[in-house]
Structure 1
Amino acid sequence: MGALLLPSCKKVFDVTTESTLAGEQTYRNVYDADAAVLGVYGKLLKLARPYVLLNELRADLMSPTANADLYLQQLSNQNVTVDNPYIDPAPFYEVILNCNDVMKNFDIMLAEKKMKQDEYNERYADVASVRTWVYLQLGIHFSKDTKGIIGIPYVTDPLATIQDVKDETKYRWLPFQQLLAELIKTMESLPTLEMYNSAASLMTTVDQYRTEKFFIMKKVLLGDLYLWNAAYDPSSYNKAATAYRQIISYYDDKGNDNTKKNYYKLIGAPDPASGNQLAVQYVRYRESDINALYDSNTEGWRSMFSRGKISYDQQFDWEWIWHMSFSSSFEPKNPFIDLFSNINGSYLVKPSQQAMDNWNSQTQYNGFPFDARGNFTYRTIAGQPVIMKYLYYYMDGKTFVPTINTNTRTGEWWLYRAASVWQHFGEAANRDGYPKLGYAIVNQGIKTTYTPPNASSNVTNIQQTFLPAPYDFDARSGDNPQFRAIYRDMAGLRGRASLPSRPLVGDSTIAVEDMLTDESALELAYEGQRWSDLLRVSIRRHDPTYIAARVGAKLRKDGAGNAAAAEAKLTAGEFYLPFKWK
């Protein structure tokens, strides 16, 4: 299998828009099908740059630098013109058309018995999910074309070229709510929502990169679709939480106790001496020493962005659910070094002052007046704040000296991890009538939150939620009698960051939702979540000021002259980018 697949990898990743072979030449067997799947992901990698820019620069945590061109400034300032190259929908539709073509040919292969049913199920569902994810991104950012048509083109036929997409007789225009309904219907009808079987031929190593988490996690995507749809149909909150819970609990019945309690569980650091948990922590007996913070490629919270690059790394897998690797051998090249780095890069965007203030307004348990996640998410290099989450494979995290040849430009596109799934699960649980569970997730975890004050040492009837599925969690850890439940070390988002709980004030549902959104800014900054989080809450509350106020605050702190105009535009509900074919 390796001998058949690997020689074709250069070809399937380095695909030009119009270069396609006839089906009889490329869809002969399952290895050709694998090459087609990898080709889809090769095209998907080209969306990494617009994905991060549209979801972060448009929101409140990222700002353009003095090196940024007019068009990047437009994204930040909410005054985007139709000629802005960063909003060109064509690259998104190239992926979609590729998916449509592959799905059509997979149907033919199955009918002609060139693939077994289980081989077809996995590959067809994977490609369909990629198409769904791309459509979700289009729906989040685009809604009206320059002719005033509401919605985006929804194309499911294998059209030959992007030019064909411009023929409006070949598809429907769907507004966001209708688009969500179509996407949910697609996902619910897939032949499988499971990941590739560990024995599948696509579970391999390509250019020294493990492919295990290279492929989209379908249930997380389905959860996101339900979470968006819940603004229109509140019953979808429970559906979203159910989908997310299946990911959170994926390892609950697999492997030994270490596997069950660690995978996707947001664990803290029960033994600080180990220094190898994915938590903000300090060397034992030096907790009051600011220099004792675990800060390396293999220890502490920031190590999740620098470990596990090539060889198997168990703790990397505890956190990461979907990430894609840029190779030194295949196109496209990693765009993030040029985007973020001020060493051999163009340094075009940086953390906003608002983002830095968010981290610096926190106080850790040990009294240090900052959130250490901020120290790991950005660094000051040569007097300039530099976003670092995408640069730890490129440069040393302490000396900032590049550790790889600048022409190599390997790296990662971070997409889904345990923290993002828990954050969205908490959002759904809170709106489904369980704000205490949402509070536990954002703060200190289930065990602490569900332990009453002055509780006895007998934990039989505490430290668990006693809620119906999917909200039933057991986090008991006690002796006499002894309990060691799977969720006992789940520390919560702030607990894992060594931060105390936030006080609950006012309406619990609204307050917890605000906490979750605020915590997302601290935990998930620059991972492509921010605009979506703010927009989703604004739509849910019918309150455009929710997103408008935060973007306006960023622009004012950045000294942007149009802060008032940008805030007014968003307050009027003008969230979407103009849709125009170049």
Structure 2
Amino acid sequence: TTDKNLKELANYSASIENAYDSSYVFYKVINNCNYYLAHRDSTLKTGSTNVVIDEYIAVAAWRAWAYLQLARIYCGNAEGLTIPFFTEPLTSISQIEAKAADPGCQKNLSQIVEALAPELEQLLSRYPNTRVPSFNATAYSIGTTNWGASKLIDMSKIFVPVQVVLGDMYLETAQYQKAAEKYADYLCKYEVLPEDCTSYRMRGEDNIKPDDYSEVFNQMNDNYCGRWGTNARPVDVVSYIPMAVSSQNGKTTTIPLSFGYDFYSINQSSYCPRAENIQIQPSRTFYALTDSADYYYYPKSYNGQTLNTSYPTDVKKYKAGDGRASITSQNSDPDFAILYRNPSDITQTYVSKVVNANVYLYRASTIYLHLAEALNAMEYTDAAFAILKNGISTYLENLVRKPTIDSEGKIVLNEDGTPKIEPYKYMSQKSVDMLGTTLPFLSAQYREIFNANDVYGIHAHGSCTYNVKENELAQSARGSRATALGSQMNTHYLPDVIIGEKMKEIAKKYDVKVGTSKADSVAAMLDLLCDEYAKEFAFEGRRFYDLQRIARHFNEMGIWGGDFGSRWFVEKLSGNKPQKDLHDPRNWYLPFK
């Protein structure tokens, strides 16, 4: 039976008595940060090297992050809603009560960003090469679980990068170019690439492939499913809160238990023991979204009756579902699939993403998809789509919609006399230029890092196979070119096609007239990104933040009736049977106590 407090959160009936409604947790972090920032000498040096500034900036970023979470949970920019805001350390109950009661100390989301962003900008401007502290401990043991697993952490991952926090603050408040610039600054300086990471949906007894599926040219990796273990540096994780292995070692969490894994079990096991009473399981909405997803693959091709062994000339798709919802009832190892369905009770589904008792704050995917959201709002919709299909790399320069040139340097013409443009080309020169100037990915300084061979599209994490590049008969290909999603032969997954389908879906679902303007394309792409968020970040605790931000921005756009964002928000959460009228943004947030 699901815990009453969790049910109340899901259906918007939570009161200030709800066990999970605790602003105190965040204010405790904030006040500790305030105390540190007020008393730490940030000028300490060893020789000419400032030995504390990275730590000082990291603490300032933590404070901003904590305030951002409070604003997301309790007020947003909804009319009449605010939270107490203070930056000086409070050391007595009377001080705390006075601040809480002072109308001059109340701020909403935009006001909090306005108050905190300048300080972070000033620090970043003065120390542009700041990095989160690592304390020379990239694999630090925090103990062993009662069931026998050693847990390691990377000390650098217990901080949040200041550029990323600023990017999120600007994204929340519709300052899109500033957001994009901060995300890009972090991704470039830290050399963060979208990972070569895929998964396959149909497992075990459900592993049915099309008849023309080529075993020669298709490779399926399952490293997406295996990234959530107890190792110190999970693939693509930027920041996490690592919970303790026992109450004797520090703060513990009930998150794994809620999803079906007893991280604090005393029963010896090769991997995390499962619990009997699962509190949170995938929703019907999640299954509907992931089950309907297309999976792209390289088909067999023949020369007469002879099977070709040359590089494939086509990409096909079928309804295999998204691999990020990989499910099995045959192998209970959490590294094998994201979801494990109990064969003796199919109503019980275990979610392995939380199996290591880490709370994930940022992954590379988080930052790239938030960058895509910012780029889309800046009307670089093709660049936003590229993050899904190909990733940002020098390969995008080959995808600019330019006329085809023959071997003699002449423009190739179609039968009607118009210049021929290859169908796989979807990038504008304007967007590619922007990615080398405003955002420096393709600039002379960083283009070798973001090269065509090492970058992949985020949507490939759950939607496609790879070309088997080790096969001696296959053309050597790496990066997004090697994926059946990013391949030039994939003309199914292109902006005109996918965004066009999304426009039709929106028109039908919400009974609105969707046109062909740039604003219509931007809004449809935003909804498409929301779908990608649902697949990529499922069970990581981000969904509400994404939904309320996107709904707010839809309302700010004034598109499709002005209050489209509120109607969209209501539809997205209709499966939760909300007890409040979510057309009113004031009802989106928890009551503050």
TM range (shorter): 0.5 to 0.7
TM-score, with normalisation over the residues of structure 1? 0.66
Identity among equivalent positions (%) equals 22
Question: Partners of 1:338 and 1:420 in 2: how far apart?
Answer: 25
Q: Secondary structure at the match of 1:347?
A: coil
Change (3 A) 1:218 1:345: farther
Deviation at 1:354, TM superposition (A): 0.6
Q: How many residues align?
A: 445
Correspondence 1:140-219 to 2 at 5 A: 140-143=72-75, 150-161=81-92, 164-168=95-99, 172-190=105-123, 192=127, 194=129, 196=131, 200=135, 205-207=140-142, 208-219=152-163
1:426 paired to 2:372: yes
Residue 553 (structure 2) aligned to one of 540, 554, 569: 540
Match of 2:24 in 1: 90
Question: Partners of 2:132 and 2:7 in 1: how far apart?
Answer: 45
Match of 2:433 in 1: 467
Match of 1:450 in 2: 399
Change (3 A) 1:485 1:575: closer
Residue 381 (structure 2) aligned to one of 412, 416, 435: 435
Q: Secondary structure at the match of 1:139?
A: helix
Question: Partners of 2:225 and 2:348 in 1: how far apart?
Answer: 17
Which digits, 9 at most, give the CA deviation of each residue in 1:126-174, with x for residues without a partner? 1111111010011111139xxx964111121111256632223677111
Cα RMSD (Å) of the superposition? 4.0
Deviation at 1:489, TM superposition (A): 4.5
The structure having more radius of gyration, on CA atoms, is 2
Which digits, 9 at most, give the CA deviation of each residue in 1:346-393, with x for residues without a partner? 522222211111111112114243111112443323323535243444
Structure 2 unaligned blocks of 5 or more:
143-151, 262-273, 298-317, 327-336, 410-420, 465-484, 486-492, 501-515, 556-561
Change (3 A) 1:119 1:287: farther
Match of 1:67 in 2: 2
Deviation at 1:73, TM superposition (A): 1.6
Deviation at 1:325, TM superposition (A): 2.0
Large movers: runs of 4+ above 6 Å? 113-117, 292-296, 460-464
Residue 40 (structure 2) aligned to one of 101, 106, 111: 106
Question: Partners of 2:552 and 2:592 in 1: how far apart?
Answer: 20
Change (3 A) 1:490 1:204: closer
What is the letter of the counterpart of residue 423 of structure 1? L
Which range moved further: 419-428 or 539-548? 539-548
Deviation at 1:198, TM superposition (A): 7.3
Residue 536 (structure 2) aligned to one of 523, 526, 540: 523
Which digits, 9 at most, give the CA deviation of each residue in 1:174-198, with x for residues without a partner? 1222111112123113264655477
Which digits, 9 at most, give the CA deviation of each residue in 1:179-230, with x for residues without a partner? 1111212311326465547784576724243213222121111111111122
Change (3 A) 1:304 1:295: farther
1:333 paired to 2:252: yes
Question: Partners of 1:265 and 1:526 in 2: how far apart?
Answer: 20
What is the letter of the counterpart of residue 67 of structure 1? T
1:491 paired to 2:456: yes
Question: Partners of 1:414 and 1:503 in 2: how far apart?
Answer: 30
8 Å contact kept, 1:223–1:243: yes
Correspondence 1:59-458 to 2 at 5 A: 66-69=1-4, 71-107=5-41, 118-143=50-75, 150-161=81-92, 164-168=95-99, 172-190=105-123, 192=127, 194=129, 196=131, 200=135, 205-207=140-142, 208-230=152-174, 236-252=175-191, 263-267=192-196, 277-278=197-198, 280=200, 299-306=222-229, 309-310=231-232, 316-317=234-235, 319-328=236-245, 330-341=249-260, 343-344=274-275, 346-366=277-297, 367-375=318-326, 376-381=337-342, 382-386=345-349, 388-393=351-356, 411-445=357-391, 447=395, 450=399, 452=401
Deviation at 1:528, TM superposition (A): 2.7
8 Å contact kept, 2:569–2:582: no
8 Å contact kept, 1:266–1:491: yes
Higher helix proportion, which one? 1
Correspondence 1:17-36 to 2 at 5 A: none
TM-score, with normalisation over the residues of structure 2? 0.65
1:509 paired to 2:522: yes
Larger RCO (CA within 8 A; separation ≥ 6): 1
Match of 2:269 in 1: none
